Amino acid sequence: MNAKHYKPFVTLLTALCTHTLTAAEIQWIQPEGASAPTQVIASNVDGLRHPDSTFAKGWRSCLKVYVVTDAFLSNEKPPSVLGSCERSGETITFTPRFPFSDRVTYRAEFQLPKSDNLYERKIHSTWIPRQEKIAPNTEITQIYPTADYLPENLLKFYLTFSNPMSGGYVYDHIHLYNELDQEVELPFLELEEELWDDAMMRLTLFIDPGRIKRGVKPLEEIGPSLVNGERFRLVIDEDWKDASGIALKRAMTKSFHVIQPDRQAIDPIRWEIIAPKSDSRDALVVKFGESLDFALAQRLIEIFSSEGDWIDGSKQLEANETELHFKPDNHWKKGDHTVRVQMILEDLAGNNIGKSFEVDVFDDVQRRIHSKSTDRNFSVR
């Protein structure tokens, strides 16, 4: 059955070439404003004109209604709907004992008896509940980095969603346009295994590093994906479907200016640390002096007590990812503390602590790297 061929008021007209019966028509009677039909009618039954025919005498058993279940697929007998039939002229009306449900699919069958030179045939019609269109409720919550000015050698974007998304063919829904409104050709590193988090709510989108690093063929032959001094737009289509198969609530666009490339390694010595007061749950603020990688900064920066114990708390990146605000679960204790940073922390251009992106050879972005860390101490007073 194909739902698109049925409406709340369904009419199926079937011409039957028989001896005494020429046509029959099944109709579902659904009053205006009702969510389900109230009756089923078999009309234009010419055989009812002949009171002596077998059909005219056995009309009560000719119109039956069933509940559509998997029984129709397995050829088992489907559950029938209890009700009664009434005859009026050339019409048979079926009225259910209990009202039809607006959540159930029903099938009406009109069975011709094998007599009076009539063919034993069925005509049928199905009523399918109106499928309420599910409103989209998944949206893009943020595109990182959030800054309006991004370096020409920007390495990646992060897309975060309010609900789990569907994977596969993600690059069909993501576009990069230059200031002439021309789509940039193949700007992203299109990986066969897409870089989703476990919840399928954050996608890592790498710009093709071959169009970032100097001396690499794609950069020399095609040019950079982003150009210093120009304005670009990252556009996410709204037809991208979430894990439930429903399109996004709306499309999203991030417009940004491209500035000169950043090839300086990260230097935590230059970070400004604003220490909280003891016996408080005030936030520790670490100012980086530049935007850092959103996901890595949250994961690779940890806070430790003077005893070397890891401190539980919540981390939030602020001011276009240039600041980390850490709020502990418990009150701060007086004494020395440590901000510990993994060396593989990245800025927007992929530069690490003590090493710029240009120095390293781009490796498999999915490879886990175990690295050393560096510490910055601060005192709570």
- Which among 91, 128, 122 is positioned nearest to 106, based on CA atoms? 128
Write down how long the chain is.
Answer: 381
At residue 299, the pLDDT reads: 95
- 286 with 363, same domain: the answer is yes
User: Does 132 reside within a domain?
Assistant: no
User: Does 199 reside within a domain?
Assistant: yes
Q: What is the pLDDT of residues 189-208, one digit of tens each?
A: 988 889 999 889 999 999 98
Q: What percent of the chain has pLDDT over 90?
A: 53
- 309 with 201, same domain: the answer is no
| Domain boundary residue, one of 127, 150, 170 | 127
What's the gap between Cα 52 and its chain centre? 64
pLDDT class of 219 with cuts at 50, 70, 90? low
- 376 with 274, same domain: the answer is yes
pLDDT average, residue stretch 303-318: 95
pLDDT at 216 over 60: no
| Domain boundary residue, one of 84, 105, 127 | 127
CA angle, residues 333, 316, 338, in degrees to nearest 5:
35
Q: How many domains does the chain have?
A: 3
- 57 with 156, same domain: the answer is no
pTM for the model stands at: 0.63
User: Does 87 reside within a domain?
Assistant: yes
Per DSSP, the residues of 307-327 read TSPBPPEEEEEETTTTEEEEE
Under 8 Å CB-to-CB from 90, ≥6 apart: which residues?
43, 44, 45, 46, 48, 49
- 101 with 37, same domain: the answer is yes
pLDDT class of 271 with cuts at 50, 70, 90? very high
Please indicate whether residue 340 or residue 109 has the higher confidence score (pLDDT): 340
pLDDT average, residue stretch 331-360: 90
Q: What is the pLDDT of residues 37-92, one digit of tens each?
A: 999 998 877 666 555 555 556 677 788 898 887 555 555 667 889 999 998 878 88
User: Does 353 reside within a domain?
Assistant: yes
The answer to whether the CB of 254 falls within 8 A of the CB of 143 is: yes
Give the domain CATH number at 316: 2.60.40.3710
User: Does 50 reside within a domain?
Assistant: yes
pLDDT at 213 over 80: no
- 252 with 347, same domain: the answer is no
- 251 with 272, same domain: the answer is no
- 252 with 290, same domain: the answer is no
pLDDT average, residue stretch 97-112: 85
pLDDT average, residue stretch 106-132: 69
User: Does 90 reside within a domain?
Assistant: yes
Residue 56: half-sphere exposure toward Cβ, Cα within 13 Å:
14
- 237 with 170, same domain: the answer is yes
- Is 361 strand, coil or helix? coil
CA distance 140 to 134: 18
User: Does 292 reside within a domain?
Assistant: yes
pLDDT class of 12 with cuts at 50, 70, 90? very low
The answer to whether the CB of 114 falls within 8 A of the CB of 46 is: no
Compute the mean pLDDT over every residue in the chain, rounded to the nearest whole number. 83
pLDDT at 130 over 90: no
Of 11-15, 42-46, 186-190, 316-320, least confident by mean pLDDT is: 11-15
User: Does 225 reside within a domain?
Assistant: yes
Residue 332: strand pairing partners:
none
Determine how many CB atoms are found less than 10 A away from the CB of residue 272. 10
> What residue numbers bound the domain in which 110 lies?
3-127
- 162 with 185, same domain: the answer is yes
Burial class (CB in 10 A: 0-12, 13-18, 19+), 226: buried
- 9 with 120, same domain: the answer is yes
The answer to whether the CB of 49 falls within 8 A of the CB of 90 is: yes
CA distance 120 to 193: 58
Give the domain CATH number at 40: 2.60.40
CA distance 99 to 347: 65
Give the domain CATH number at 190: 2.60.40.1220
Per DSSP, the residues of 134-195 read PPP---EEEEES--SEEETT--EEEEEESS-B--S-GGGGEEEE-TTSPBPSS-B---SS-E
- 371 with 340, same domain: the answer is yes
CA distance 356 to 264: 6
pLDDT at 5 over 50: no
pLDDT at 187 over 50: yes
At residue 124, the pLDDT reads: 78
pLDDT at 223 over 80: no
pLDDT average, residue stretch 311-338: 97
